[in-house]
Amino acid sequence: TIVLNNPRRRNALSLPMLQSLRRDLLHDVKSRELRVIVIAAEGPVFCSGHDLKELSSEDDVKHHSQVFELCAEVMTLIQKLPVPVIAKVNGLATAAGCQLVASCDIAVASEKSQFATPGVNIGLFCSTPAVALGRSLPRKVALEMLFTGEPLSAHEALMHGLVSKVVPEDKLEEETMKISQKICESSKSVLALGKATFYRQITQDLDTAYKITTKVMVDNLTLRDGQEGIEAFVQKRKPVWSH
């Protein structure tokens, strides 16, 4: 579990926060024991996006580029990791914070959570958050969020596909752990192959997507755990994964 822990700054994705998040995401990533990553936060705001003090005219273009480039690296890193990443959201997620939720593989939110891209209201359109948002939400829903800055409720976010589940606040930890534990019952190597393939094929046309995934299904069968799972099913026993 990675916890964004700067509630006084509304868990803003400052340059140090992004550097720390990247470091933590990569920590033990090759360990067989690492099976799932949960991103959570302290305080009433899950994440308020970029630290606007870093984006003032006092800092030069080079610094601004560094902030946005590192943010993009972290968001794309989440989908490149070999384990599922779950956002556990209990509060407001805005701008790059909303982008962070949209970039995770799964998102579980409490009923009080809200999601917004309000950059337009301060003259900084949420163009980088729009990349993740546009790939998670229907286009017209994403554009309404981007053009107006108005928030989605947790249930609206669920209806449009930004989050996976919405639960009462007191059930958030329990539901997140339930999903995590279910993931941990599967083979890490099979999940890693499946996750990488999902993101690879989703941007392709239908024929290319089927060519990619047909080959991967064959490759999956060559994995030790691919054969173990089938043998266990045939023998009516629980599989013993090697990961």
CATH code, domain with 213: 1.10.12.10
Q: 78 and 195 share a domain?
A: no
- Weakest mean pLDDT among 54-68, 106-120, 228-242: 54-68
Instruction: Decide which of 167, 182, 197 is a domain's last residue.
Output: 182
Q: 203 and 146 share a domain?
A: no
Distance CA(100)–CA(220), nearest Å, equals: 30
Distance CA(107)–CA(37), nearest Å, equals: 12
Could you tell me if residue 240 is inside a domain?
no
Q: 124 and 22 share a domain?
A: yes
Instruction: Decide which of 182, 206, 225 is a domain's last residue.
Output: 182
Number of domains in the chain: 2
Could you tell me if residue 125 is inside a domain?
yes
Q: 124 and 68 share a domain?
A: yes
Q: 95 and 118 share a domain?
A: yes
Average pLDDT over residues 131-149: 97
Q: 141 and 96 share a domain?
A: yes
Calculate ∠ Cα 204-163-64, nearest 5°.
75
Could you tell me if residue 22 is inside a domain?
yes
Q: 198 and 99 share a domain?
A: no
**What letter would DSSP give residue 187?**
-
Model confidence pTM above 0.85: yes
Could you tell me if residue 90 is inside a domain?
yes
Q: 166 and 192 share a domain?
A: no
Average pLDDT over residues 127-136: 97
Average pLDDT over residues 111-131: 97
Q: 154 and 92 share a domain?
A: yes
Name the β-bridge partners of 3.
Answer: 40
Q: 146 and 199 share a domain?
A: no
Average pLDDT over residues 195-207: 97
Could you tell me if residue 226 is inside a domain?
yes
Q: In this model, does residue 59 exceed pLDDT 70?
A: no
Q: Determine which helix (DSSP H) or strand (DSSP E) holds 40, and give its type and residue range.
A: strand 37-41
CB atoms within 10 A of CB 67: 19
Could you tell me if residue 241 is inside a domain?
no
Could you tell me if residue 162 is inside a domain?
yes
Q: Which structural domain range is residue 194 located in?
A: 186-233
Q: 172 and 69 share a domain?
A: yes
Q: 40 and 147 share a domain?
A: yes
Q: In this model, does residue 57 exceed pLDDT 90?
A: no
How confident is the prediction for the chain on average, in pLDDT? 97
DSSP, collapsed to helix, strand or coil, labels residue 88 as strand
Average pLDDT over residues 150-171: 98
Read off the CATH number of the domain in which 107 is found. Answer: 3.90.226.10
Could you tell me if residue 161 is inside a domain?
yes
